[in-house]
């Protein structure tokens, strides 16, 4: 099965609300990354969290990592219509050179 699995598959919220997306994985990792994909575009890197970190912030983004549960969450605070996109988590498998991507969470932020 896929290494990274995002939950929920789709999320619709109002502008100004917070959006939380979760990612679960199965094997040990060195780091976990989150990417955003706007419709019809390539993926854009948002944030990386290493296995020895528990929380990381970047602007309105907050990422947590729980290696005991093999899970991560991405929180977007004070969402904007421009945050509408699909969000993917990606994991290396024990430090592999390649990333395995989940199928993503499709976020819709309604103005």
Partner 1 sequence: DAGVIQSPRHEVTEMGQEVTLRCKPISGHDYLFWYRQTMMRGLELLIYFNNNVPIDDSGMPEDRFSAKMPNASFSTLKIQPSEPRDSAVYFCASSRWDRDEQYFGPGTRLTVT
Cα–Cα distance between 55 and 72 in angstroms, integer? Answer: 9
In the complex with partner 1, the residue whose CB is nearer, 79 or 88, is 88
- Reduced to 3 states (helix: H, G, I; strand: E, B; else coil), residue 98 is coil
Which of 23, 63, 88, 89 binds partner 1 (CB under 8 A)? It is 88
Q: Among residues 15 and 53, whose Cβ is nearest to partner 1? A: 53
The closest alpha carbon to 84, from 40, 23, 48, belongs to 40
Q: Give the binding-site size for partner 1 (rule: CB under 8 A).
A: 20
Closer by beta carbon to partner 1, 42 or else 59: 42
Helix or strand or coil: residue 43?
strand
Among 59, 69, 97, 111, binds partner 1 (CB under 8 A): 97
Query: x/- contact string, 31-70, with partner 1 (CB under 8 A)?
Result: x-x-x-----xxxxx--x----------------------
Sequence-ordered strand ranges (E) for 4-104: 5-7, 10-14, 19-24, 31-37, 43-50, 55-58, 61-66, 71-76, 85-92, 99-101
Binding site for partner 1 (CB under 8 A): 2, 31, 33, 35, 41-45, 48, 88, 92, 97-104
């Amino acid at each position: 099965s896929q290494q990274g699995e995002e939950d929920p598959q789709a999320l619709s919220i109002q502008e100004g609300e917070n959006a939380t997306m979760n990612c679960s994985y199965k094997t040990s990792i060195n780091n976990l990354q989150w990417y955003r994909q706007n419709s019809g575009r390539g993926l854009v890197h948002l944030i990386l969290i290493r296995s020895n970190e528990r929380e990381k912030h970047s602007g309105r983004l907050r990422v947590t990592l729980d290696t005991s549960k093999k899970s991560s969450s991405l929180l977007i605070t004070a969402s904007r219509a421009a945050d509408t996109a699909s969000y993917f988590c990606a994991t290396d498998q024990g430090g592999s050179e390649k990333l395995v991507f989940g199928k993503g969470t499709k976020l819709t932020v309604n103005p």
